[in-house]
Amino acid sequence: MSIDQTVPSGRTVTSAPGDESGARLLRGERNWWFLGPGGVARLGGRHVTTDGALRPEAELRLRESGMFTPTRVRAYALTVLTSTHCNLGCGYCFQNTAQDQAGGSRPPRIARTRLTSETITSILGFTERQMAAVGLEKLRILLFGGEPLLNPRGCLELLERAGGLAPTSAWMISNATLLTPSLARRLAGLGLTSVQVTFDGDRADHDRIRVGRADGGGTFDKIVRNIVKASEVSPLTWTLRVNVSQETFEGVDPLIDRLATALDPARCTLYFARIGDVGVGYANSLLHTGELPAAFTRWQRRALDLGFTVSRPGSRRTCVTCGHADGRYGAVVSADGTLASCWETAGKPDWEVGTVADGYLPGAETRDRWIACQDLYRYDENATTLARFRDTVDTALLDYLHETGRL
């Protein structure tokens, strides 16, 4: 039997009792795709039964080659909100506590806090204890907010001092409106490798949705300009998240071409994300049915053809940060040192699961507060519809990557 293994309508593979690998089996145009925690493999029809299940000999071969084996956690994942404030006034933000009653760009938000040197000391002490408990020697930091660059000193100090604790790398989720070349260079020198930036459709839609909090002005050109300038003086790479809703759908195609012209696609990964009903007063009527799967496939192919990287499909993975109820391999810390289970609940009252000074609260107290990634996203569709959408898009992407020699 030969299985064409590559690097890292469908079904979840549940052939072995108690198997929690999250493996998936997808039927492509000319073959089957196996997506396991150990990577992706291309299978022929002889490896799969008529009802779409792995044959025993194929499963055995995949297991022997490590395709069912989860990747070992190599670094402690620490998310730190350096500031809970934001300089943008996006109406859909999950950190808003209400709508702007004046109809402007200043919706009320979670309480404003700012990372200090004293809190950094407590965070690093907590992190050292957590890393020692699970035997991890490397640290991966996510600089988060609010907008993390509203506290550039906190970002720099955290990275500099963390480097004395363990080998450290970092990434940041930022709106990039405050990113200067000097700051980009300094952050990269302290271990920052990549920045995730969001675009809400093409320029006109983005400038209507993703607005400055102070003046309600557009931000598209400033963000692009700052990415270009930061790229000139640093080795930073960029994950460009494209928010998809009924408000932005029509602008995604021209956005991809515009970004390819303005930026270096070789340094950018494009990630298309259907926005859920989060925050206050926002609803996305664009469902995961109809033309959306075909649109995602079209966008991904266009991005690849223009030289962008597109996130590769994989197995259903447990989040290293929030997927373990005891915070075993990672933690989310707000700017005041309180612990949250996930970035979605950080800074929100009544969702704390401990503090860096005292550690996590007992499980009996945090059980109802422990939220994992995506748990707060609400869709008007059931899990089967969402899984079918993901499987359709992922299958088309794998077929195209293989067809074009990119896999």
Both 186 and 281 in one domain: the answer is yes
Q: What is the pLDDT of residues 317-330, one digit of tens each?
A: 888 888 887 899 99
In a domain, 337, yes or no: no
First to last CA, the chain: 21
Tell me the C-alpha distance between 188 and 200, whole Å.
Answer: 26
Both 49 and 94 in one domain: the answer is no
Q: Specify the pLDDT at position 381.
A: 62
Q: What is the CATH number of the domain that holds 277?
A: 3.20.20.70
Both 273 and 188 in one domain: the answer is yes
Both 273 and 176 in one domain: the answer is yes
Give how many domains the chain has, as a whole number: 2
Instruction: Sheet containing 330-333: give its strands across.
Output: 309-310, 268-274, 237-244, 192-199, 168-173, 138-144, 75-81, 330-333, 338-340, 354-355, 359-360
Low-confidence stretches of the chain (pLDDT < 50) are 1-9, 12, 14-18
Domain span at residue 112 reads 88-310
389 alpha carbon, distance to own chain's centre: 18
Tell me the C-alpha distance between 236 and 190, whole Å.
Answer: 12
Tell me the C-alpha distance between 225 and 211, whole Å.
Answer: 16
Both 157 and 24 in one domain: the answer is no
In a domain, 170, yes or no: yes
Q: What is the DSSP letter of 311?
A: P
In a domain, 385, yes or no: no
Domain boundary among 310, 329, 351: 310
Both 189 and 55 in one domain: the answer is no
Distances (CA, A) of 7 to 62, 195, 312, 324: 13, 24, 10, 27
Q: Specify the pLDDT at position 288.
A: 80
Both 239 and 180 in one domain: the answer is yes
In a domain, 321, yes or no: no
Both 53 and 98 in one domain: the answer is no
Both 211 and 242 in one domain: the answer is yes
Domain boundary among 310, 331, 365: 310
In a domain, 276, yes or no: yes
Both 276 and 229 in one domain: the answer is yes
In a domain, 82, yes or no: no
pTM for the predicted model, two decimal places? 0.93
* Residue 332, strand partner residues: 79, 340
Domain boundary among 310, 335, 357: 310
In a domain, 319, yes or no: no
Both 19 and 155 in one domain: the answer is no
In a domain, 104, yes or no: yes
Quick check: bond before 146 cis, omega within 30?
Answer: yes
Both 213 and 253 in one domain: the answer is yes
